[in-house]
A and B are shown apart, each in its own frame.
Chain A
Amino acid sequence: MKVVGTSVERLDAVKKVTGTAQFADDIQFSRPLFAQVKRSPYPHAKILRIDTSKAKALEGVRCVITGDYYKKRSGLYLEDKNFLAVGTAKFRGEPVAAVAAESKEIAEEACRLIEVEYEELPAVFDALEGMKPDAPLIHPDLHTYKVAPIFYPQKGTNISHHYVLRKGDPDKAFAEADRVFDNSFYIPHVQHVPIEPHACTAQYMPDGELTIWAACQSPFAVRRALAETFDFPLNKIRVISKAVGGGFGCKAGTTLEGIVIPLAMLCPGRPVKLTYTREDEFQYAYVRQGLHIRIQTAVRKDGKIIGSRNTLAWDGGAYTEYGVNIVKAAGWGCVGPYDIDNIATDSYCVYTNHPVGGPYRGFGMSEIHFAIEQNLDMVANEMDISPLDIRRINGIREGGISATGQKIEVAGYQECLERAAQLLEYDKPCEPSGSPTKLRGKGLAGGWKAPSMPTDVASSVIIRMNEDGTFVLLCSCHDMGQGSDTVMAQIAAETLTVDPSKITVRTGDTDHTPYEWQTVASRSTYCAGNATKLAAEDLRNKILEVAQIKLGTWKNDLYLEDGYVCRKFYPDMKVPMSTFALGLSLPDQSGIAGPMIGVGSFTVPNNIAADIKTGLSPKPVAFWTMGVNGAEVEVDTETGKIKVLKMVSVFDAGKVINPQMYEGQAEGAMVQAMGTALYEELKLDHGRVMNPSFVDYKIPTFDDMPELVVEAVEKAEPTGPYGARGIGEIVMVPGAPAIANAVANAIGCRFLRMPLTPDVVLAALREKNKKQ
């Protein structure tokens, strides 16, 4: 292959280094209005009265809305969400009213003038509390909500989805086991922290057309959700997404769009704009859900795990329209990349009066693997088996069976494990730190992830050939930094045998680029990549159809090479592809065919939804991507501070389309995982975010970066484009538990909760010293 597997320069690189890439907030509008939001100061409260009269009377205010203006609920999988609270406010900071005004300052002032009277209601601040029978109900009408058929809300409870998995005979396994273990973990809420905050502008035209410019990962999903909520036919609503400054999941669904649209509808012709501040971002955008997880493990004395029972209680926040799918995905992946015959898993999505949970890089996998991979080390330690061996014994191999009963045809886990251990020199002790109070340790952790999407979702790509033999590729998988534009160009270039510089990629406009379900789930390289390859092949076939006339032969004797149509037996008889860009001109100047356009549509073949009772499916997902992170850490036993010295990353990518971008994904993911392991937690106190800014929510910076080593294993995915499978999320998943395992190795303390902050580390050391 000439293009696939090479580090082609990013298509958007020059725009991004010159500051000319246009992000949502960069778009200049004439006569914009500015939106601002009035928010609930209570985590759970009945709204008794809203008086907007003073705000409406303020000069420069164009319109004011409350939840009463548009009561219809919205949601991707479960329609439980109002963009503006209707009747009750369910989390602190929930919008209760919104204003559009001539300036930001006027809009802010108008919000201050809105008077709201509340009656506080008892609230839920923990998933386990929320599951109790006497817990206050946050959505009393849950059973009446519209829901996708694969989710099961429990009437009269706060449980919006209960995923049940029953495989084999766990009771028997636990009865027969030589050793049984029972460990529980807690993973707190964290935030995605893209450096670009959410931004959105909506413009409603007097003729009924609505255009939304949003920083969003998934323009089509946003279009559909908004069209349903606001009763627009899909041809009257257009979502445009420009450059997106990082998503990590938080720009996948709908957040502030639904606040801006009703304002725009009341001010026809005027663009209405809302850009979140960093503080808004921390409190009002999606958060990664909190998780209580209990893992019981039945192990034979040789280290083989024969049974696993898992209980997961997810803190979904006030609305779980998106979160329910994370809860399901975690159920499918519940034991990690390990082949275990007998499994019982219950994964609950629980409403709380916390910020709204949503997709976050890993889609539940980062959370559960923090528990799974520490649990493995804890079991290994108790049984005097090395952490490496317990993974060798239980790690999935080709032909192995997933938790849902899916046969794993390609599995690079063992190769990744061995290579990661080598790169970390896991068998050797750490280099001495030079100080008796600085202790070092090494840790490994594995992980896997599948694109957890509904089984029938679709992608499409159009490739248009220009007269000069260049191409415009239209797709709607969105480049939010991960590099999908460049990957699509590489796949198309490979198929069309041209240099990728000949291909321009245009994305992110539901009126002009073809349908794509969502840019999530590490599915773009696979799904949109397959659609791209199909489109390129379609284009190639169409070219060959007319070329056979021109070249006087059968099309099966023709092939493409370096942008030429060539004959197999007479390689010199070649014609530039561009000859056929507009069809074919015949000697009498008449024309046939017409402009060359390739079309590719792709849906994962034979994906089957899981059974409601057993949670089993022979193929709920297209593939599983798996691999291993390693970490070496140094713990300062006087200050409790952990320094990550080195991290290694080895994942089975199937086929790496662009090695430099693959490294970039893996490096960024390791540092992001390190942030969650060491620093990051959205600190919640009675529903209030206590650290809603960079002052007190720290993400890693330059100084924190450890030595980063990245390699890939390439066991081709048979159904992937050129053998590729998705890697964007999985490369983060085992990072945090690898660090936790390394810390345990260094100081002999186990941390069952993230993050491993210095105060927690010192307290654990003190406890340990007391015991000794």
Chain B
Amino acid sequence: MEYRVRFYVNNEPIELSVPANRTLLSVLREDLALTGTKEGCGAGECGACTIIMDGKAVNACLILAPELDGKHIETVEGLANGSELSPLQESFIEHMALQCGFCTPGMLMSAESLLRENPHPTRAEIVDAMSGNLCRCTGYKKIVEAIEAVAEKGVYEK
């Protein structure tokens, strides 16, 4: 049985028929070819599939496709405005806060959600908000520094 869902991905309206046993992650990657969102564990433990749904950072692997009806989804593909990178994207590059890059989309979405909620997080708050995102390459230091640098610039102030 398929379910008709209408939702938005990076402000683009999407209409799909999907079976219930599919996840948002597989819909993004397989149906919409938005492969920026990664699968690292499929169980909500690694954060590689982090996206923003209705303003909140969530694991795309833990959302069933029929739940999507009416939702607003933001993925890494929506961060840049054309070729103009977002402040976090710029900062990740400047601080070399990425190596293999597989965790990077999820990192950026968690960081984006954090700074929208809390434009000037303390280091402890950054650590708390980011701990659901695993990285095996960087040791995390440069990621924290990249987020702190954006916070200091105050670009997320409301």
Contacts and interface: CB of A to CB of B under 8 A. Distances in A.
Nearest to A661: B96
Identify the interface centre among A18, A695, A703: most chain B CB within 10 Å of its CB: A18
B41 interface: yes
Interface stretch (B43-51, B63-71, B150-158): B43-51
B85 interface: yes
Given A17-B85, A246-B100, A481 B42 contact: no
Interface residues of B, number: 53
A695 B43 contact: yes
Contact of B136 (A193, A277, A695): A193
B104 interface: yes
Nearest to B124: A703
Contacts of A197: 39-40
B12 to A, nearest CB: 15
B35 A278 contact: no
Contacts of B134: 195, 694, 699, 701
A244 B99 CA distance: 10
Given A18-B85, A195-B48, A481-B100, A278 B33 contact: no
Contact of A248 (B79, B93, B136): B136
A17 B107 CA distance: 10
Nearest to B41: A278
Contacts of B48: 195
Nearest to B40: A195
Given A14-B93, A18-B77, A243-B100, A278 B40 contact: yes
A672 B139 contact: yes
B104 A17 contact: yes
A17 B137 contact: no
B40 A196 contact: yes
A693 B79 contact: no
A175 B63 CA distance: 69
A590 interface: no
Interface residues of A, number: 57
B103 interface: yes
Interface stretch (A48-56, A129-137, A662-670): A662-670
A300 to B, nearest CB: 40
A694 B140 contact: no
A695 to B, nearest CB: 6
Contacts of A406: none
Given A667-B141, A705-B140, A17 B98 contact: yes
A17 B43 contact: no
Contacts of B43: 278, 693-695
A668 B139 contact: yes
Interface string A495-518: 000000000000000000000000
B100 A702 contact: no
Interface string A687-703: 00000011100011111
16 contacts: A9-B96, A13-B92, A17-B92, A17-B93, A18-B36, A19-B75, A22-B35, A195-B100, A195-B102, A278-B45, A481-B102, A661-B96, A664-B138, A668-B137, A699-B136, A702-B131
Given A16-B98, A20-B36, A667-B142, 7 more contacts: A10-B96, A17-B79, A17-B101, A19-B76, A248-B136, A667-B138, A701-B134
